């Protein structure tokens, strides 16, 4: 299973266990100095790893959850701002911690259960340490093949739940991941991938 699939599967588990957020934060703007760099993230510490996924202004008040190999979830910290963060999944090739708001969790739940995403519910996911493996065309691909367009993406955010925001952005099978592009175009789960610079 690819890293985005693993992360979103965990997001769905959060929903199932009732650890999902109730009061989404309105803070979505971040300056470069709020962003933790890959070099300073400590992935042996689940909380530090989870917090490295988003700007400190978001991750510092987020719930921290961790999934065990069997899919069971543990809440490491109760949040105060409506965001949830998860640490790196050790089984994936590179660091891939993720933070997401309540709307993004609803979108992830729809994806997991093969249901249409809720309309007019725009969500945000942060992956400031990047994602190392995902098909750009198949939302349910579990491994790279010769024709499923595997991509690697550096630090980025994902805007989900808005068809309108996709207009004008490239959506080909082999995108330039250094500019905003559409992942899973032509599916109900198409979303905008927006590259982010990391702190120096």
SS3 100: strand
Give the whole-angstrom CA distance, residue 122 versus residue 160. 6
Model pTM score: 0.76
| Predicted confidence (pLDDT) at residue 22 exceeds the cutoff of 50 | no
What is the chain's mean pLDDT, rounded? Answer: 77
Give the whole-angstrom CA distance, residue 65 versus residue 172. 34
| Predicted confidence (pLDDT) at residue 75 exceeds the cutoff of 70 | yes
| Predicted confidence (pLDDT) at residue 194 exceeds the cutoff of 90 | yes
Q: How confident is the model at residue 174 (pLDDT cuts 50, 70, 90)?
A: confident
Question: Per-residue pLDDT averaged across 116-137, rounded?
Answer: 86
Question: Per-residue pLDDT averaged across 14-23, rounded?
Answer: 32
* Residue 41 contacts residue 48 (beta carbons within 8 Å): yes
* Residue 82 contacts residue 150 (beta carbons within 8 Å): no
SS3 59: helix
Question: Per-residue pLDDT averaged across 32-61, rounded?
Answer: 74
* Residue 86 contacts residue 63 (beta carbons within 8 Å): no
């Amino acid at each position: 299973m690819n890293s985005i699939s693993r992360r979103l599967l965990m997001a769905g588990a959060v929903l199932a266990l009732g650890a999902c957020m109730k009061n989404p934060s309105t803070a979505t703007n971040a300056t470069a100095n709020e962003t933790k760099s890959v070099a300073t993230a400590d992935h042996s510490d689940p909380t530090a790893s989870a917090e490295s996924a988003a700007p400190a202004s978001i991750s510092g008040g987020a719930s921290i959850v961790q999934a065990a190999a069997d899919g069971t979830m543990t809440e490491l910290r109760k949040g105060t701002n409506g965001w949830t963060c998860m640490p790196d999944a050790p089984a994936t090739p590179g660091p891939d911690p993720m933070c997401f708001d309540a709307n993004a969790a609803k979108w992830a739940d729809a994806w997991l259960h093969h249901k249409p995403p809720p309309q007019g519910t725009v969500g945000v996911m942060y992956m400031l340490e990047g994602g190392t493996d995902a098909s750009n065309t198949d939302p349910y691909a579990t491994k790279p093949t010769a024709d499923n367009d595997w991509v690697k993406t550096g630090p980025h955010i994902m805007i989900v739940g808005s068809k309108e925001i996709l207009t004008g952005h490239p959506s080909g099978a082999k995108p330039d991941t250094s500019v905003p592009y559409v992942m899973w175009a032509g599916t109900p789960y198409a979303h905008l991938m927006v590259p982010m610079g990391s702190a120096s």
